[in-house]
Amino acid sequence: MNISKKAIIVEDNLILSLLYENYVKEMVFKTVGEISSGEKAVELVQKYAPDIVIMDIMLEGEMDGIQAAEEIRKFSKTPIVFITGNSDMVHLEKAKKIENTKFLRKPISEDKLKKAVDYLLSTRKCEF
């Protein structure tokens, strides 16, 4: 099995981070590190240019997932799947304004994540 796609998982809950890592490995993605802050996410997206980012909205550090995604959009169109247990309208509306993203509410299943990733990657291919 050739793993050529890279994913970055940004989640401050270690158990969920490991769960999402298993999900993306099933989709034949290689993951890059355990990231729990928005600042580190921005840095690693710039460094590794992943195919997809799986990002919680509430993170450690000064920057939440939406702010990190806004920073990432300054240099990359990498698809981002937002995952959150916080489904208030303020976060939802902010997340919707960021291009090339999907928004999933916790708890998520492997199937839901796969559908979101497939959607974003197939949409991305159609742009070129």
What would the pLDDT profile of 55-108 be if each residue is shown by its tens digit?
999 999 999 999 999 999 999 999 999 998 876 788 788 888 899 999 998 899
Encode pLDDT of 107-128 as tens digits.
999 999 999 999 999 865 444 3
Contact call for residues 31 and 22 (beta carbons, < 8 A): no
Q: Please return the burial class of 83, using the count of CB atoms within 10 Å of its CB with bins 0-12, 13-18 and 19+.
A: buried
What is the reported pLDDT for 96? 83
**Coil/strand/helix, residue 123:** helix
- Backbone CA torsion sign across 98, 111, 22, 85: positive
